[in-house]
Amino acid sequence: MVPVTVTPGLEINNRFGVFNHTDLIGLPYGTKVSSRNGRGFVYVLRPTPELWTLSLPHRTQILYIADIAFIISCLNIRPGSSVIEAGTGSGSFSHSVARTIGPSGRLHSYEFHEERATKARDEFALHGMTMVELSHRNVCQQGFALLDEADAVFLDLPAPWEAVPHAKLAMKKNRVTHICCFSPCIEQVLRTVNALNRSGFTDLTMYETLLRPHEVHQVPKLVSIDSIVEQVKLHEIKKEQRRLQQVEASDKKRNNLKRKREQTEEGGPDLDLGTGDQKRRRDLDASHPSTAVDVDSTVTKHTLDPSSPPLNHKEARLAALATSTPMSKPMPEVRGHTSYLTFATLLPALNNEMVMEKNDDPDNVGARWEDTETTDAFDQLLASIPEDELDRVLAGQALADG
């Protein structure tokens, strides 16, 4: 699979033949186009993130659809979300996120390698991904330069634990946000989990995505127990009929031999048995009696009305599916390990941030912490109480203290 920018006047030459770009212009997606020299054909497909993942130029190890879909779902990324991606790489994950968040969303992507960042920026511009903002930056040391901005963070870094504190600063504090770290080694996962715990993240969970393809086959429908019982009964009846016919043939043969012996002893001609060839044929017929078989009762044939039109391919397939059952079995080989996905949740911060009021002490010895949010809430509570009720409560408290 190869991505192609259709340009009038150019040609595609591959092992399937020669294809002129001009012949592709105006064709609906999904069209099958034959080559000019008749060697093969190609399909014109709509560009999607899934196809781009399969055909992009690899600058780094990329994420594939199984991991991408799972990450986007667990991070709760949706249209309008603000997402941070550290480790742009080849841009496989970036394309899927850009489609999910749409024009109203924002993807802040960071890449440490300058050359990879430049190539990825050119691809994003070529594909019209205006919602992506790509920066060349070492986020582990310099951070994301964002504050309370992201709904979700994805870290595809060699040392994601170094970027976790910076990611917390960039994540929104007024709602539930999520983070995912993509690490190929379990040692990286352990260090990342420790960093997430120290930074106050909760609901830490690790997943490993493995594909298990299934082979699907159409098998005939299972026969019911009643029909099997009827077939067994019919078989027993026919078996008994054959036994009685054999007994009757044996008795008939014995009687014929006895009568022949008696006539021979009397010296009279064997009028009933005829010539020698006729005798042998009659003896053979008696020893192998023909059994009448009811074909209609043992074999069910599909008969069609001769006057009815023949079935087309679609109708024949539907008829076959009606008399069969789909069955599946897993493939014996399963695709191996790619990486571990470590997810965590950052809950909204409580509105009790502490501020420090400095006094004139140069050593700041008299510095104290004040819970400004709690003080404001208490002042609002006092303002809501009627004055007479507040005076009564305070007077009662004064008496109690006295």
pLDDT tens track for 70-87: 999 999 999 999 999 999
Query: Which pLDDT score, from 0 to 100, does residue 368 have?
Result: 39
Read off the pLDDT band of 94 (50, 70, 90). very high
Instruction: Output the six-digit token pair for 8.
Output: 């009038």
What CA–CA distance (Å, rounded) separates 217 from 316?
Answer: 17
pLDDT of residue 393: 58
For the chain, list the domains and their CATH numbers. 11-43 (no CATH), 49-208 (3.40.50.150), 216-248+317-330 (no CATH), 354-401 (no CATH)
| Higher-scoring residue by pLDDT: 283, 111 | 111
| pLDDT (0 to 100) of residue 293 | 42
Decide if 59 contacts 50 (C-beta within 8 A): no
AA letter at 100 = T
pLDDT score for 355 = 39
pLDDT at 155 over 70: yes
pLDDT at 120 over 70: yes
Please state, for a pLDDT cut of 70, what percent of the chain lies above it.
Answer: 72
Whether residue 202 is predicted with pLDDT greater than 70 in this model: the reply is yes
Bridge partners of 17, per DSSP, are 14
pLDDT at 376: 57
344, β-bridge pairs? 179
**320-379 pLDDT, tens digit each:** 666 777 788 887 776 666 789 999 999 987 654 433 334 444 444 333 344 444 455 556
Annotation-wise, does 156 bind a ligand? yes
d(CA 281, CA 278): 5
Confirm if 348 and 198 have CB atoms less than 8 A apart: no
Q: What is residue 80's predicted lDDT score, i.e. its pLDDT?
A: 94
Among 20-29, 102-111, 115-124, 386-395, which is the least confidently predicted range? 386-395
Give pLDDT, residue 210.
84
Give the pLDDT band (50/70/90) at residue 230.
confident
Average pLDDT of the segment spanning 286-313: 48
| 266 annotated as a binding-site residue | no
Query: What's the pLDDT band for 227 if we cut at 50, 70, 90?
Result: confident
Q: Which has the higher per-residue pLDDT, 245 or 272?
A: 245
The mean of the pLDDT values for the chain is 79
3-class secondary structure per residue, the chain: CCCCCCCCCCEEEECCEEEEHHHHCCCCCCCEEECCCCCCEEECCCCCHHHHHHHCCCCCCCCCHHHHHHHHHHCCCCCCCEEEEECCCCCHHHHHHHHHHCCCCEEEEEECCHHHHHHHHHHHHHCCCCCEEEEECCHHHHCCCCCCCECEEEECCCCHHHCHHHHHHHECCCCCEEEEEEECCHHHHHHHHHHHHHCCCEEEEEEECCCCCEEEEEEECCCCHHHHHHHHHHHHHHHHHHHHHHHHHHHHHHHHHHHHHHHHHHCCCCCCCCCHHHHHHHHHHHHCCCCCCCHHHHCCCCCCCCCCCCCCHHHHHHHHHHCEEEEEEECCCCCCCCCEEEEEEECCCCCCCEEEECCCCCCCCCCEEEEHHHHHHHHHHHHHCCHHHHHHHHHHHHHHHC
Reply yes or no on whether the pLDDT at 232 is more than 60.
yes
pLDDT band at 400 (very low <50, low <70, confident <90, very high): very low
Least confident of 18-27, 144-153, 277-286: 277-286
Size of the chain in residues = 402
